[in-house]
Chains A and B, each alone.
Chain A
Amino acid sequence: MRRWKNVWRFLPLLAVMALTLTGCGNEQLSALLPQGEGARMQFNLMMLSLYIMIGVFIVVAIIYTVVLLKFRRRKGDNEIPEQTEGNVTLEILWTTIPIILLLILAVPTVMTTFALDPDEEKIPKDAIRVNVTAHQYWWEFEYPDLEVKTSQDLYMPAGEKVYFNLKSKDVIHSFWVPAIGGKMDTNTATENLMWLKADEAGTYFGKCAELCGPSHALMDFKVIVKDKKDFMAWADKMKAAKGEPEGDLAAQGQEIFQANCIGCHAIGNEGSNVGPNLTSFGDRTTIAGILEHNEENLKKWIKNPQDIKTGNNMPQFGKQLSDDELDALAEYLMGLKVDGE
């Protein structure tokens, strides 16, 4: 009997643990603080299934506790208990009740599964669409109707469904925005379609959820939700942006960029998409999705990207470029602002 006191000593520990943990996380990231229609539908189903399951757990816990307290062998009791074979009524009971509970869960599950799946034919003509291309280890966002391309930062309007065409350039990744509406894989051979609808303007975190190589953990992106009007204004400015340098140093930086970087990076309509589009690099909140956005870090990145993201596809420029050239490059890139202040 004494030994079982341990169990009760252990319970408060569990309670404390649960309490400290149920602060539901960061509101830009957590699926427990849904801020979009999809995330809310998903959250509601989570809660429904959780409540049903907690109900089942309580029943099990009660029987379990009674068994442990009441049917332990006492010292010196050598009597042999009755060898019951079973009980058909009970078996039927604990087969049918769970089936009913699961039906209660299954109906909204199927309905929501269909509701979350966009029907290509029913997508409104003027809906904002984004082609998402995942690369090891960065994200490319193309707005075909708006003729705009960005990378790393996904801009979208608040309060309306935005439709995403997902695919990958290299290995399978998974496009995940927990706070707004779940995830979907980006495959190599087929395209996927999903929608997101954010409640309000704000910045949210997105992540890659499928193991895609050494820097999988660092394949983060941002979702910047704006009111529709602001979003359209941003898109117009993006479309017009040419990446003109401001000042002499920046102009020098532009030349260096043209000589070294344009083969992989695009600014405005010029350049290639082996690496992220840098048209609005000055507006980013991070460098490469993870570093704080400042000149220091930018130079660090250009010098040796492998130190920061193992296995990514940008070569090291530490040996090729002098400190002065790096300063010029940084001045140019940090000045590539589209969004205003």
Chain B
Amino acid sequence: MSAHAQKKKNPIWDWLTTVDHKKIGILYLATGAFFFLLGGLEAILIRIQLLYPENNFVGAQTFNELLTMHGTTMIFLAAMPLVFGFFNAIVPLQIGARDVAFPFVNSLGYWLFTAGGIMLNLGWFLGGSPDAGWTGYAPLSTTSPGNGVDFYVLGLQISGIGTLIGGINFLVTIVNMRAPGMTFMRMPLFTWTTFITSGLILFAFPALTIGLALLMLDRLFGTQFFAAEAGGNPIIYEHLFWIFGHPEVYILILPAFGIFSEVIPVMAKKRLFGYSAMVFATALIGFLGFMVWVHHMFTVGLGPIANSIFAVATMLIAVPTGVKIFNWLFTMWGGKVVFTTANLWAVGFIPSFVLGGMTGVMLSVPPADYQYHDSYFVVAHFHYVIVGGVVFGLFAGMYYWWPKIFGRMLNETLGKIHFWLFFIGFHLTFFPQHFLGLMGMPRRVYTYLSGQELETANFVSSIGAFLMGVATIVMLWNIIQTSVAGKKASNDPWDARTLEWAISSPPPEYNFAQTPLVRGLDAFWLEKRAGNKTMTPAEPLDDIHMPDSSILPFMMAVGLFIAALSAIYSSWAIAIGGLVLTFAMMFLRSVIDYHGYHIHKEDLPSEGVDGK
């Protein structure tokens, strides 16, 4: 087969079967964006309900479903896939690879995630969504009537498997597929954070898998792991959830840190300040992230010894995080900073995230946490971290890499409007919530009584949320408008530093016609300073071997989806049928020989690695 034959495929079939990391990246980004809008809509409904005291916009039950689905959607179905979207779209390019280590597994990871995401949202159509909070604490979750929580348990389980294998894939990719000369200490920071994040996924997700499996056994198979009357203990679930849950925060924030560490040096025209300190801080944050989960459980009653140890461990995390903040600031110090939209998000991130970090340290103090815990103070804190950190990071990444991924520039003016509206709306929404919590408002309440002086701050908070909604509409308009009539992007629109900018926008399917030779940190920048337009190739031009696309990953996910859905309704025959389908696809994958195909060197452009 030649490259030309490949191009004539039906586009739908092409997207269902693709194993190209760039296309899978786009799939992740698109799916994540869809769920981001859905989770945002849920947030708006929540804030309408809380606009006034004793409001009756949605009922108590619906509100609990909204808050559960908002949290679950934003963490698992929006932030995670958007992060994975950037891993896929960018990391292989940054390390000078042709694809990830396991393209087939990559596609399987995406389809499992999507199957889980759909499963989670089925409750909206099938008589009730999950309502026990994104944390799904037992026994509320094990005793919740209807099928809502079943969708949560099985949906997260399936998408969790997708995330886990995705993480493994990136670990292997980064260890094995780096271009010649790219030692670990020459890797771009985004690749570094991807690497460490993947390690966190590998160790954190199994805890969630076990917690969910026990929930599933209690709900669907009549076991009593969390039923106190039968000798069970729900605290075990809390531990399992947070052993996963705390590292999950870092799974989301470290890639955002990686994005800022790419954007800031490029926009300041200066090398990242303290590169090795940054790498070390990332690793330390990842490590300490596993030592602090009990700070989510200070009020559970684990005793003063446990609380004190985990308090001090939590405080320690502030140190490497602070190191990062100062290194970003000193990257800009002495630089020539340009305020593109991508950089506005990075610059807006710094004070926002520092505020989130401040409240984080405050929360690490157990006696004070006896007041903060499960109040709106915590809601304010984690939104400062997750919106001010992760979402700002994803937006920075979007404006920065959009030209590389899609080959078109986003409109900068609209981008800046988007930024300012969102930035102001964000602070307006979440800053007052600190005070709400301290003034005695618990979180996850569908209403509050009048006369407790909670009205003003709630009203302001809702207005802020609407502003973020408007900002998001501006962003959508930007995307639509520029994809119809946007400017075509050059290879290197930001005068950037890393390998992905050395090839065309969007990159050809084989990425690099010749694997580049890396001669230092910021490899492409070094070549440009040395007067070269492109990277020096590390190999002669030759035929390129490409992996076969395959429908099997999609079918495996369909099989698991069918199995889970029928298990919820106790249709065991169909459930087994679904599992059989999945295993049959796995069997096929094992016995069929995949030879891949070659792109012949005569079909490649001859100007070195600049794949035009």
Contacts and interface: CB of A to CB of B under 8 A. Distances in A.
B271 interface: yes
B203 interface: no
B453 A23 contact: yes
A263 interface: no
Contacts of B337: 67-68, 71-73
Nearest to B334: A81
A113 B271 contact: no
A240 B503 CA distance: 88
A25 interface: yes
Contact of B361 (A67, A105, A310): A105
A190 B301 contact: yes
Interface in A205-260: 205, 207-218, 220
Given A71-B335, A211-B444, A189 B319 contact: no
A81 to B, nearest CB: 5
A189 B232 contact: yes
B556 to A, nearest CB: 35
B442 A56 contact: no
Binding site secondary structure of chain B: helix
Contact of A91 (B269, B277, B347): B277
Contacts of B228: 187-189
Contacts of A212: 140
Given A17-B428, A71-B268, A102 B374 contact: no
B374 A210 contact: yes
B382 to A, nearest CB: 15
B270 interface: yes
B336 A81 contact: yes
Nearest to A179: B440
B234 A187 contact: yes
Contacts of A46: 362, 365, 368, 371
Interface string B231-247: 01111000000000000
Nearest to B333: A67
Interface stretch (B324-332, B480-488, B509-517, B572-580): B324-332
Interface string A187-205: 1111011000000000001
A209 B442 contact: yes
B329 A171 contact: no
A183 B437 CA distance: 13
Interface stretch (A27-35, A267-275, A316-324): A27-35
B339 A72 contact: yes
Contacts of B57: none
Contacts of A32: 438-439
Interface stretch (A57-65, A122-130, A297-305, A327-335): A57-65
A81 B267 CA distance: 12
B329 A91 contact: no
Given A20-B456, A189-B228, A209 B373 contact: yes
Given A113-B311, A113-B366, A188 B139 contact: yes
Contacts of B322: 56, 94, 98
B605 interface: no
B478 interface: no
Contacts of B537: none
Residue from B299, B338, B453 whose CB has the most chain A CB atoms within 10 Å:
B299
A172 B139 contact: yes
Residue from A64, A79, A91 whose CB has the most chain B CB atoms within 10 Å:
A91
B420 interface: yes
Contact of A102 (B234, B304, B318, B368): B318
B442 A176 contact: yes
A182 B347 CA distance: 37
Interface in A56-100: 56-57, 60-61, 63-64, 66-68, 71-73, 77, 79-87, 90-91, 94-95, 98-99
Interface in A23-59: 23-26, 29-32, 38-39, 41-43, 45-46, 49-50, 52-54, 56-57
Contact of A214 (B61, B329, B375): B61
B449 interface: yes
B440 A30 contact: yes
B367 A31 contact: no
A189 B439 contact: no
Interface in B128-164: 131-133, 137, 139-140, 143
B435 A22 contact: yes
Nearest to B306: A113
Nearest to B145: A311
B453 A84 contact: no
B41 interface: no
Interface in B300-351: 300-301, 303-304, 307-308, 311-312, 315-316, 318-319, 322-323, 325-327, 329-330, 332-339, 347, 350-351
B276 A86 contact: yes
A42 B424 CA distance: 32
A191 to B, nearest CB: 8
B102 interface: no
B368 A217 contact: no
B457 interface: yes
B336 A73 contact: yes
B274 A91 contact: yes
A72 B336 contact: yes
Given A21-B457, A49-B361, A49-B368, A310 B60 contact: yes
B439 A31 contact: yes
Nearest to B449: A290
Contacts of B358: 50, 53-54, 56-57
B456 to A, nearest CB: 6
B445 interface: yes
Given A172-B139, A205-B452, A83 B438 contact: no
A313 interface: no
B420 to A, nearest CB: 7
Contacts of B233: 188-190
B494 to A, nearest CB: 13
B370 interface: yes
B113 to A, nearest CB: 26
Nearest to B276: A86
Given A187-B301, A192-B301, A86 B143 contact: no
Contacts of B64: 211, 213-214, 216
Residue from B303, B323, B371 whose CB has the most chain A CB atoms within 10 Å:
B371
B589 to A, nearest CB: 42
Contacts of A26: 439-440, 451-453
A145 interface: no
B15 interface: no
Contact of B447 (A64, A106, A217): A217
A110 B364 CA distance: 11
Nearest to A53: B358
Contacts of A294: none
B585 interface: no
Nearest to A289: B449
A105 B365 contact: yes
B181 to A, nearest CB: 19
B339 A24 contact: no
A95 to B, nearest CB: 6
A182 B373 CA distance: 9
B273 A211 contact: no
B177 interface: no
Contact of B270 (A54, A84, A184): A84
Interface of A: 3, 6, 10, 13-14, 17-18, 20-26, 29-32, 38-39, 41-43, 45-46, 49-50, 52-54, 56-57, 60-61, 63-64, 66-68, 71-73, 77, 79-87, 90-91, 94-95, 98-99, 102, 105-106, 109-110, 112-114, 116-117, 166, 170-172, 174, 176, 178-179, 181-185, 187-190, 192-193, 205, 207-218, 220, 290, 310-311
Given A14-B431, A187-B228, A214-B131, 5 more contacts: A25-B435, A113-B311, A185-B299, A187-B300, A211-B443
> Which 7 A-B pairs rank lowest in CB-CB distance, beginning with the nearest?
A25-B439, A182-B370, A217-B445, A86-B274, A188-B228, A214-B60, A29-B440
19 contacts: A3-B416, A25-B439, A29-B439, A32-B439, A60-B325, A60-B354, A71-B268, A71-B333, A82-B270, A87-B274, A90-B330, A105-B365, A106-B312, A109-B365, A110-B308, A113-B308, A181-B370, A188-B233, A207-B440
